Structure 1
Amino acid sequence: MTNKHINLNHSRPGKYDALLKQITKDGVCPFCEDNLKKYHQPPILKKNQSWILTTNQNPYAGLKKHLLFIHRQHLISLSQLKTQDWSDLGKLINWVIEKYAIPGGSFFVRFGETDYTGASVTHLHAHLVSGGKRTKNKNEVTIRLGYYK
């Protein structure tokens, strides 16, 4: 069972793994706009010409916010983005930071070959994540962003 849009090696145990296996069986890209509602339960928070913004339904442990920016076209490479795409992304990032009063966070883009990125879905998308404020007794949030050289 294979699906060029899913990398099951980057799944996480539980509901997410079961969902990815179903998507693999269905043979579709779960981030393409026509399929998104079927596989992604959280509502769309906002969209513009280039991007869909939603909450990640499978957030990394320990985060207060985990937001997902999904390109509305099935793109894989950053080189496919146009100037308007970058502008639209910036507007959404600014909107979400203001709306949710996010005091700090991290932003990263998943693009290209998933065996380099750790992504489970091969469709250009980005994450904005924000955890709690660092204190002496808090653990760090761990996110797979790739692999050692």
Structure 2
Amino acid sequence: MKEKFKQRLDENKFVDLANCRNTSQQEKYLEIYKKNYDPFGERSKIEDLGNEIISDTDYWIVIRNQHYKDPKRKHHFVVILKRFIKTTEELRSEEILDAFKTLSEINLRFQICGGALLMRYGDTRLSGASVKHLHFHIVEPSSNEAIPLYVGCKID
């Protein structure tokens, strides 16, 4: 079994190294993996990764995604639930309501006219998430050109 796949199956960890998007993210997340902590677990840990916090509600923290430096993306935000869960079934109704309120506020604040909303949850082999903490992405392209949003993973 490949080492990346072994790491992926370790349910005691908070990150999936096989789904890191670039070398910089891999290096940061390897340290997190070794220390076994949730990088989305506290505001300070989110900031320690170099993330700019855009919004902070009762249930969600919104950051500008630092791992995608793509000129085809006008905006790319990650919306992180403040408590650790992995599945949508664990979401409370007030968290769901606040998530969509937060989405609307981000759309208005950054004048986002259209884009994609992608939630990462559950089995990271299927979701493609590098962090196992439920979160979602708000992505607005910078033009009419298609941009990739990865779901699932590739085992090298």
Give the TM-score of the pair, scaled to structure 1. Answer: 0.88
Distance 2:134 2:31 in 1: 21
Structure 1 residues not aligned, in runs of 5+:
none
Counterpart residue number, 1:122: 132
Cα drift, residue 42 of structure 1: 2.6
Distance 2:142 2:66 in 1: 19
Counterpart residue number, 2:32: 23
Structure 2 residues not aligned, in runs of 5+:
none
Contact 2:73/2:147, CA 8 A, preserved across alignment? yes
Distance 2:67 2:114 in 1: 21
Q: 1:142 aligns with which of 122, 141, 148?
A: 148
Tell me how many residue pairs correspond in the alignment. Answer: 143
**RMSD over aligned Cα atoms:** 1.9
Which structure 2 residues correspond to residues 67-106 of structure 1 after superposition, within 5 A? 67-106=77-116
Cα drift, residue 108 of structure 1: 1.0
Q: 1:9 aligns with which of 9, 14, 18?
A: 18
Amino acid at match of 1:144: Y
Q: Percent identity?
A: 25
Per-residue Cα deviation, 1:19-72 (whole angstroms, up to 9, x for no partner)? 111111221110111522222x13211111111111111126321100010000
